[in-house]
Amino acid sequence: MNFHEKPQVYAPTVELKVASLERSLAFYQEVIGLKVLEHSTTTASLTADEVNVLINLVQPDNVTPRNERNTGLYHLALLVPTRKDLGIVLKHLIETRNPLQGGSDHLVSEAIYLADPDMNGIEIYVDRPSENWQWHNEYVVMDSKRLDVEGLLALAENESFTGLPKGTIMGHIHLQVSDLASTEKFYCDGLGFDVVTKYGAQALFISTGRYHHHIGLNTWHSAGGSAASESSAGLKNFTLLYPSEEEKLKVVNRLKDMGATVFVEDGTTFTKDPSGITIKLLVG
């Protein structure tokens, strides 16, 4: 199953506020390996295939540093097509001595972690075949085991890094929220996601179509926290893509019935979750 096509609901694009567009463009091109699709003095769109935008960057006036206690982005997660692709990325990051925050075997996937110059978290990962994922009742079995670095590097062999492959997509987004109870109600009852795993009262993974997660939600650093200011570096918004206008309208009506914030700007529908995170609702 393709978990990032209709009729699934997923997050294909993330928009970030950055302190220096020039610095961020250098990082996302040279370190991460994305390409610039469009570029102005204060904005840029980044892509892997020169068609689909994965990350939008915007440099507001008078940007303030990101506060990790605020709600917002925990990490964005770029999904590469093959294990060899992940090995090539890992080899590149080691050769360029770019600092890594870690790596894990999550059973359903293998991942490496780092951060951009504004301390926005980034995961680059590859999925294992979904037929090999284990489920316990309605919850997918995940873990954080030692990453097989040697195996990944062996796959990379003498391959040179030429950027992320064209098949790279935004696999999921992981958010910092203020509390899980109101968050679960908003994302599941309102936006239409299903819970696929829980980690006590501190983390919740949700998806459509039994993906291991399209959205991660946690309170590890942000319990009781407030939304970042408009001038703060960090997450500006992310997009959710619905399969039809009818499905999107059902979501909008449910959100309004719940008393959630819903507004329209320039013909585009937005909502805000209970932690003040802005979500753009589109039809794909």
> Averaged in consecutive runs of 10 residues, what is the pLDDT profile of the chain (284 residues)?
93 98 98 97 97 97 94 98 98 95 98 98 98 95 97 94 98 98 98 96 96 98 95 97 98 98 97 98 95
Per the listing, tokens 């490496």 go with 112
Contact 206, 217 (CB under 8 A): yes
**For 14-283, which CATH superfamily applies?**
2,3-Dihydroxybiphenyl 1,2-Dioxygenase, domain 1 (3.10.180.10)
Q: What local confidence, expressed as pLDDT, does residue 188 receive?
A: 98
Q: Pairing relation of β-strands 194-199 and 234-242? A: unpaired
Q: What are phi and psi of 123, to 5 degrees?
A: -115, 135
Per-residue tokens: 156: 């990379």
Query: What is the phi-psi region of residue 11: left when phi exceeds 0, alpha when psi lies from -120 to 50, beta otherwise?
Result: beta
Query: What is the phi-psi region of residue 165: left when phi exceeds 0, alpha when psi lies from -120 to 50, beta otherwise?
Result: beta
Q: What are phi and psi of 257, to 5 degrees?
A: -65, -30
Q: What local confidence, expressed as pLDDT, does residue 203 receive?
A: 97
**For 178-184, which contacts have Cβ atoms below 8 Å and span 24 or more sequence positions?**
178/71, 178/219, 178/222, 178/223, 178/224, 178/225, 178/226, 178/274, 178/275, 179/219, 179/223, 179/224, 179/274, 180/204, 180/217, 180/219, 182/274, 183/217, 183/273, 183/274, 183/275, 184/217
The pTM of the full predicted model, rounded to 2 decimals, is 0.97
Q: Which residues pair with 136 in a beta bridge?
A: 139
H or E element in which residue 177 lies: none
Report which DSSP code applies to 132: G
Domain boundaries, given as residue ranges, for the chain: 14-283
